[in-house]
Structure 1
Amino acid sequence: MQAQNIASSTHEPLKTLPKKPFLCTHMHVFITSLNSGSNGNCYYIGNEREAVLIDAGLSCRQTEMRMQRLGLSLQTVKAIFVSHEHSDHISGITQLAVKYKLPVFITSKTLQNTRLPRASFPIRSFQAYEPVWIGELSVTAFPKFHDASDPHSFLIDFQGTKVGVFTDIGAPCEHVIQHFSQCHAAFLEANYDDELLEKGRYPYFLKQRIRGGKGHLSNQQALDMFITHRPSFMSHVLLSHLSKDNNCPDLIRAMFAPCSDQTEIVVASRHQETPVYRISAERAVATV
């Protein structure tokens, strides 16, 4: 895997950085958000040999372009895991899975609520709390509160380095808290600001769906979980799935900054990829 766009403290993902090889280690995990928002979600987690995508809500072309800009290869991706059936999480699956012959891991209930062409690529089922091994990556799903048929979040473990994907969550239940407290890095939903949602243009029923316990995490809920349950060794949090209308990157960044301590706070964009971050159980760092 190439490494020309690795950053630890910049929020400018399209900046071209000089090429430099990763330090030799077998414990690093590389993560990036290729896109995060209601217009498409796709998260990359992998080591130097294999990787997985959590959801594939971008087109195949956009996924390829963004990974290429980051120096990542889709040949490294060995599987796609589906959190739930909403279109912003699955719209790119068919093209990607067919072109790259990728197995798609999805629960039977979620599959029943999609229009995925079942004969076009390998479909594999997963069960909550039963690890799926993709090479040396262990992917464990667990249930969450969301208004979908069978929604799950994921914990990816590589030789003790753990990365969690916690988005599309209506409330921080015990499943989420238990796994978040184990993570060296996490994609954590911060979907909306309470005041912006309340005063915004959304109809009442939609506001209730978002904040009603099976919708999305607010900025305050995300911050409370971060403050209360963040482990001391967590090095990166990628704040994810920000609402276009009911949130603001500067607002959420300002909320987290006084509490960040040694954890780097990254706001994942709904328009472009983040840098690739190198996460380690020893301490997550990034080399440029």
Structure 2
Amino acid sequence: MKQGGRIRFASLGSGSKGNATLVSCGKTHVLIDCGFTLRETTRRLARLELTPDDLSAVLVTHEHGDHIGGVGALVRRHAVPLYTTAGTRLSGRLGGEVPDWRLINPEHPFAIGDLEVWPVTVPHDAREPVQFVLGNGAQRLGVLTDLGSITPHVVRHYRRCQALVLEANHDPQMLADGPYPPSLKRRVGGDFGHLSNQQAADFLLQIEAGQLTHLVASHLSEQNNCPHLAATELAQALNTSPDWITLAEQEQGFDWREIHP
């Protein structure tokens, strides 16, 4: 694919109360997930100097409310093309029909403007969940949240990324000692739940992450993790300092990051 400008990425917010990741290249602006109300999404986009009408597409990873809760209203009001797997659409979580729905076939890449998108199947407790690698012919960004275990298939797809938004959801000891009921603890810590700090760090070792120029720790649990633990664990895997790791926050997300050659 011919390069159409550098890839930039940012977050409107990350955590159990709502998630949305913005990826831009040239005049192409793609929103991955939207767990916020339309009003809140509009407010958070304005912080990044964009409006809903600037969006080229919305991609959805899966149907859990913190990822899909605001999608239906956004794409209906602003007529934004919506990309989901068939399983996500059949979940019934979009609140009705949408004006421009497009099917994601897992493992089949497709183009949106200046971006090429690779949907990657992941182990998570949803109907047909995917995560995404996005590229422009010269640069690759991996967005990898909401999966409970690392598979060889996932490692293979994310091996050549220059930037990565990676789930570091919980610390296993904090989860074990925390307030969640036993059933929820089993779900979060299970193979179809969420990655721990340690699992995320091990993933970095498996993909040989020395070429990363940006690493964002995302989807941190407010009850079962703390930013210092997550950053320290990931930094050790990269042999760097914790302050090099960007932390995606629930309220502020993170501001624009740009992938340089």
**What TM-score range do you get, normalising by the shorter chain?**
over 0.9
Structure with larger RCO (C-alpha < 8 A, sep 6+): 1
Partner of 1:270: 250
- How far residue 100 of structure 1 moved from its aligned partner, in angstroms, is 1.9
Aligned partners of 1:135 and 1:26: how far apart in 2?
9
Query: Whose helix proportion is higher, 1 or 2?
Result: 2
Aligned partners of 1:64 and 1:169: how far apart in 2?
28
Partner of 1:279: 259
Answer yes or no: is 1:58 the counterpart of 2:26: no
The residue identity in structure 2 corresponding to 1:65 is: R
Q: Deviations over 1:126-146 (max 9, x none)?
A: 101211211121111011000
- How far residue 89 of structure 1 moved from its aligned partner, in angstroms, is 0.6
Aligned partners of 1:259 and 1:192: how far apart in 2?
17
Aligned partners of 2:59 and 2:84: how far apart in 1?
6
The residue identity in structure 2 corresponding to 1:59 is: T
Answer yes or no: is 1:105 the counterpart of 2:83: yes
Partner of 2:93: 115
- Asked whether the 8 Å contact 1:66–1:273 carries over to 2, the reply is no
Partner of 1:285: none
The residue identity in structure 2 corresponding to 1:63 is: T
- How far residue 262 of structure 1 moved from its aligned partner, in angstroms, is 6.6
* Identity level (%): 35
The residue identity in structure 2 corresponding to 1:119 is: E
Partner of 1:3: none
Q: Report the secondary structure of 2:34's partner residue.
A: coil
The residue identity in structure 1 corresponding to 2:148 is: G
TM-score, with length taken from structure 2: 0.92
Q: Give the gaps of 5 or more residues in structure 1.
A: 1-24, 283-288
Change (3 A) 1:262 1:180: farther
- Asked whether the 8 Å contact 2:33–2:68 carries over to 1, the reply is yes
Aligned partners of 2:103 and 2:253: how far apart in 1?
29
- Asked whether the 8 Å contact 1:180–1:230 carries over to 2, the reply is no
Q: Deviations over 1:115-156 (max 9, x none)?
A: 324434211111012112111211110110000111111111
- Asked whether the 8 Å contact 1:236–1:265 carries over to 2, the reply is yes
Q: Report the secondary structure of 1:99's partner residue.
A: helix
- How far residue 228 of structure 1 moved from its aligned partner, in angstroms, is 3.1
Aligned partners of 1:261 and 1:255: how far apart in 2?
10
Aligned partners of 1:258 and 1:150: how far apart in 2?
33
